[in-house]
Amino acid sequence: MSTEVAVADATTTARFQASLEAEQAAERDLLSSLVKSILVALPISIAIFLFMMAIAISDKVEWFVWISIGVGLGVIGALLLGSLAGATLNAHKLDDVDRVTYGLAPDHDAH
């Protein structure tokens, strides 16, 4: 066993800080994209589920029941599909940060 301690030099620390800042910027961009995509998906999803509930059960139950179910399912659908869309649209930014972190050039032509 060695008693020597490895100390990071200034260039390693600077590279780590730059990598950390780039990753945090990409994560903030991902969060804003998630919020935007959920807000875009919300009225669309609510409209689709309201239409489906109107067709399926509007003649069998009171109006407030099928509207409540349609809006509730629309909100759940918007959260799920909006999150998926937002993450999918920004996955390449996180990959670019990883490429730079490992010393590779980002591949902008693949998008």
pLDDT surpassing 90 at residue 2: no
The whole-number pLDDT of residue 8 equals 64
pTM of the predicted model as reported, rounded to 2 decimal places: 0.73
The whole-number pLDDT of residue 22 equals 84
The whole-number pLDDT of residue 36 equals 96
What integer is the mean pLDDT of 58-77? Answer: 96
CA dist list (Å): 14 to 4, 10, 11, 96: 23, 6, 5, 19
Lowest-pLDDT choice from 17-21, 56-60, 61-65, 97-101: 97-101
* Angle value at C-alpha 44, between 43 and 50, nearest 5 degrees: 85
What integer is the mean pLDDT of 57-74? Answer: 96
Per-residue confidence band for 4, with pLDDT thresholds at 50, 70 and 90 = confident
pLDDT in tens, 71-89: 999 999 999 999 999 999 9
